[in-house]
Amino acid sequence: MKRLFFCICVLIAGLLPLTAGAQGPSIAFDALNKDVKTVTDGETIQQIFKFTNKGNATLEILGINASCGCTSTLLSANKIAPGQSGQLEVKIATNDMTALSTTLAETVNISKTVTVTTNDPKQQQVVLTVTGVVAPEIALSELQIYFGSVAYGQEVTKDILVEIAPDKPIKLLSATSTDDNVLVRLEPVPGSNDKKVKIIAVQKATAGPGMHQGIILVKTSSQLKPELKIPVRGIVRKRG
């Protein structure tokens, strides 16, 4: 009986190294979630996710899938030897994420994911998440101008208020219209330190009958939004 027990113990002891040796690759990330806090609309978010192969076989990255087209990735290497490390760079383009914001207070919460597929038997898929808040640096009180339906010979004036974030050294430089029937000018709001500017649009009394439409182009000193495009349209009714 003692000899049988001794043989079993020796057999188990001999199998332990084989069991440990069958561990395979094992991926371990430095973090699965990263919060970028607040960024300005138009900035590119860039985050690095570092990882290490803590197993005893080569780690293979079989696939990387982002949750949306605004997210791109760059992998340092597809194969990582045991004990070695790699990294995954994640970039998120925030262009026009706050395009529908009509005040500076209207921020957008984002949560973008990247799914990493590996040959790690215990973690075949790892989901990485980048969160943050996208804030506008410029907000428009209206996203378009509609002069309505007016009789021929009637002049119509509409305006849009542009707000600039207090911490952004941005200026509105000029405003033009692609519709020759519309005149545009910029008018700073008194006492706002040029942080509030009105875009005054006038549809001329000489505009002919029919539908009129175009784009108001506002040049700015912003590197992220050097030009604002505001649709403008109106209907002039025929005489009589």
Write down which residue in 111, 135, 159 finishes a domain: 135
> Does any domain span residue 156?
yes
Asked if residue 99 has pLDDT above 80, the reply is: yes
- Is 125 domain-assigned? yes
Examine the fold and report which residue of 107, 135, 163 is the final residue of a domain before the chain moves on.
135
Q: What pLDDT, in 10s, does the model give residues 158-215?
A: 999 999 999 999 999 999 999 999 999 999 999 999 999 999 999 999 999 999 999 9
Question: Is 18 a domain residue?
Answer: no
Domain membership flag for residue 62: yes
Q: Please state the pTM of the whole predicted model.
A: 0.81
Structural domain contains residue 13 = no
Same domain as 75, residue 146 = no
**Is the same domain home to 37 and 120?**
yes
Share of the chain above pLDDT 70, in %: 90
Based on the fold, state whether residues 180 and 208 are members of the same structural domain: yes
pLDDT tens for 38-86 read: 999 999 999 999 999 999 999 999 999 999 999 999 999 999 999 999 9
Domains in the chain: how many in total?
2
Q: Say if residue 19's pLDDT is above 50.
A: no
Let me know whether 144 and 112 are in one domain.
no
Look up the domain containing 189 and give its range: 138-237
Lowest mean pLDDT among 9-23, 27-41, 211-225: 9-23
Find the CATH number of the domain harbouring 34.
2.60.40.10
Q: Please report which confidence band the pLDDT of residue 15 belongs to, taking 50, 70 and 90 as the band edges.
A: very low
91, 148: one domain: no
Say yes or no: 34 and 127 in one domain: yes
- Do 146 and 58 belong together in one domain? no
In a domain, residue 10? The reply is no
Separation of alpha carbons 126 and 115, rounded Å: 6
Same domain for 38 and 114? Answer: yes
Phi, psi of 6 (to 5 degrees): -65, -40
Tell me: pLDDT of 230 over 50. Answer: yes
Q: Which domain-ending residue is among 135, 165, 192?
A: 135
Residues 35 and 118 in one domain: yes
Q: Residues 151-180, buried b or exposed e (16+ Cβ, 10 A)?
A: eeeeebebebbbbbeeebebebeebebebe
Q: 190: number of CA atoms within 13 Å, CB side?
A: 0
φ, ψ of residue 71 in degrees (nearest 5): -110, 130
